[in-house]
Amino acid sequence: MVYTSVEDPTKEYTSGTYPKQEQPAPGLQKRMTPVPDCGEKTYKGSGKLLGRKALVTGGDSGIARAAAIAYAREGADVAINYLPYEQSDAEDVKALIEEAGRKALLIPGDLTDEGFCKEMVDRANQELGGLDILALVAGMQQAYKSIAELPTNVLRKTFETNVFSLYWTVKAALPHLPKGASIITTSSVQAFSPSPELLSYSPTKSAISAFTKGLAKELAPKGIRVNSVAPGPIWTPLQVCGGQIKSDISKFGQNTPFKRAGQPAELAGVYVYLASNDSSYVTGQIYGVTGGLPTA
């Protein structure tokens, strides 16, 4: 991506078909073909988040990794959370944050554990010396052909990961967040146009939209903004770790008006915008980055 030239959005980034591939969840981004583009070689900062302190959940890979890299290059110190299995992807992100001259903090652990959510927030706050950006991006997605095949333990874990962890993390963070802080959640195009095979997932994304809008109203008088990003189909580990019915992976993203999947790098800008003072008059909003799929 060349920022200064006029580029055709239908031709940007990887397009065409994807090779069939599968990993057990949560997967490793470095084992994907092609490896997702999280802006490692392209994102250029311009001091928009100088001196800020960010906690990014899911920051080892995919969309959150793109946000973490961009935050560091915009001048923020960044703590990332991920599952212990993802340590090697997380180490790569730590190196990129440090190359940007910022402090990187790795906090592995499971967000379905309320006690861990509090420990994570307290560690980030203490070791970064404050906290003013919460980018809550971690999530899980498992596809099943029918509701009849959907196991209750997957349903429960999906809600705990995608929804309950937000309550636990925000409750723990509120005492630390100053006026001017920004909370960013991660919804999905699935909240607006649910696929039948994602019945455990899409309702969590509607819940996140409602959570975001309601929390924004509560926190507006405290000077804390709360917004959400609703991505369309983005090439990330989540999609090759049971997030799609296997046979669908090769055509991933071709149902969009741009007829291609997005890359995580294409989300970095909106996570930076919503964290920065550029969005000082924005709260309670859901920002679609979907290749043209509707988010209303």
Q: Write out the catalytic residue numbers.
A: 201
- Site for ligand NAD (CB under 6 A): which residue of 13, 18, 26, 43? 26
CA distances to 44, 155, 276 from 17, in Å: 29, 30, 35
132 near ligand NAD, rule: CB under 6 A: no
Beta carbon nearer to ligand NAD, 161 or 200: 161
238 near ligand NAD, rule: CB under 6 A: yes
| Partner touching 141 among ligand NAD, Mg ion, none, CB below 5 to 8 Å by kind | ligand NAD
Distance CA 159, CA 164 (A): 6
| Partner touching 110 among Mg ion, ligand NAD, none, CB below 5 to 8 Å by kind | ligand NAD
Beta carbon nearer to ligand NAD, 165 or 279: 165
Query: Which residue matches tokens 């703590």?
Result: 79
| Partner touching 227 among Mg ion, ligand NAD, none, CB below 5 to 8 Å by kind | none
- Site for ligand NAD (CB under 6 A): which residue of 72, 121, 137, 219? 137
Q: What 8-state DSSP symbol labels residue 234?
A: B
Beta carbon nearer to ligand NAD, 66 or 216: 66
Site for Mg ion in 110-169 (CB under 5 A): none
Min separation Cβ 271 and Mg ion, Å: 16
> At residue 196, what are phi and psi to the nearest 5 degrees?
-60, -30
**Parallel, antiparallel or unpaired: strands 286-289 and 133-136:** unpaired
86 near Mg ion, rule: CB under 5 A: yes
Number of residues located near ligand NAD, criterion CB under 6 A: 29
Distance CA 154, CA 140 (A): 10
Candidates 52-60, 197-205, 208-216, 262-270 — which segment interacts with Mg ion by CB under 5 A? 52-60
- Site for ligand NAD (CB under 6 A): which residue of 125, 169, 182, 188? 188
36 near Mg ion, rule: CB under 5 A: no
Triad 67, 72, 77: Cα angle to 5°: 110
For residue 28, the tally of other CB atoms under 10 A from its CB is: 17
61 near Mg ion, rule: CB under 5 A: yes
Q: Collapsing DSSP states into helix, strand and coil, what is residue 104?
A: strand
CA distances to 40, 73, 75, 253, 288 from 180, in Å: 28, 20, 16, 36, 23
Beta carbon nearer to ligand NAD, 75 or 195: 195
231 near ligand NAD, rule: CB under 6 A: yes
- Which residues, at least 6 apart from 173, have a Cβ–Cβ distance to it below 8 Å? 55, 121, 125, 131, 134, 183
293 near ligand NAD, rule: CB under 6 A: no
Query: Which residue matches tokens 């969009």?
Result: 256
Provide the binding-site residues for Mg ion, judged by CB under 5 A.
Answer: 26, 60-61, 86, 237
